[in-house]
Structure 1
């Protein structure tokens, strides 16, 4: 399923933050938060390999992964995107923030942009998120964004759904 044209990656502009495609020149700053299938990059090379997989998933229509950019500094502060379920008209929304930006509202603003894009551009019928039961900041963020807990799994995860 191809939701987007790859040469026309959808960038989303907000007042304080924007969502844009991650470039090779961003990878040095993103090693700390580069993950694929729950495996974290340890080097720039591994981050590049992960980003190549993410880009292929996008070309295949299986996900969309944005860098969250501070509009004032033009620095990437985190990432977010839809990573599963697009073939069923739904999207698992995930996010990661660079630690030096914790508690500054960047993730909330980035997620609001992604939610709006998912509902109004992608026409998703369901947006959901999963996190560890111990990840109190993520749980608080999801609840502030009007996600409601819908299920706890045996492997220590909680699933939330946008209402």
Structure 2
């Protein structure tokens, strides 16, 4: 089992590449974080400016340096950034589990890009980080993400009632999980 080094490695798929998040990605990621129909699923107030996106990236990079999270920008072969995904957190000692999060620019929904990106991120989590269990939290009404998680082999374990406090109040989330042995059987 390898430990995470604190830097997001480059992961290459058939149609996209996951690479380290960069400050200059703010303009491209703003649509992911400002689109009201997507931001509600993230449990955040939609971002209103490139400066807010830059601040969020700054925070994510600090968390990565401190090995608290790991985030990739999802890029097309042209270099265009279309979203991000990664580990919001992980715990190796005693648990060997992590929590994955993801968002994609609405212009790219429904084309299989996030499935490919998460396949790369999950492989890295199980094979390189040594995770045994990967979790994802999903708003109960976010059917698109629920279908994506199910297609990747995740199982819904239940609802965490009023788990998050958001700008619109307390929010339930459904907990989805995928175990290493289930991943290996896919």
The answer as to 2:56 corresponding to 1:57 is: no
Partner of 1:158: 174
TM-score, scaled to structure 2: 0.79
Following superposition of structure 1 onto structure 2, how do residues 60-139 of structure 1 map, counting pairs within 5 Å?
A: 60-71=66-77, 73-87=78-92, 88-139=95-146
Residue in 1 that maps onto 2:167:
none
Across the aligned residues of Structure 1 and Structure 2, the Cα RMSD in angstroms comes to 1.8
Change (3 A) 1:20 1:119: same
TM-score (norm 1): 0.90
Q: Secondary structure at the match of 2:9?
A: coil
Residue equivalent to 1:3: 4
Which runs of no fewer than 5 residues in structure 1 stay unpaired? none
Higher RCO by CA contacts (8 Å cutoff, separation 6 or greater): 2
Distance in 2 of aligned mates of 1:102 and 1:69: 14
SS at 1:83's partner residue? strand
Aligned-residue offset at 1:11: 1.1
> Residues 4 and 76 (structure 1 numbering): CA distance in 2 closer, same or farther, change over 3 Å?
same
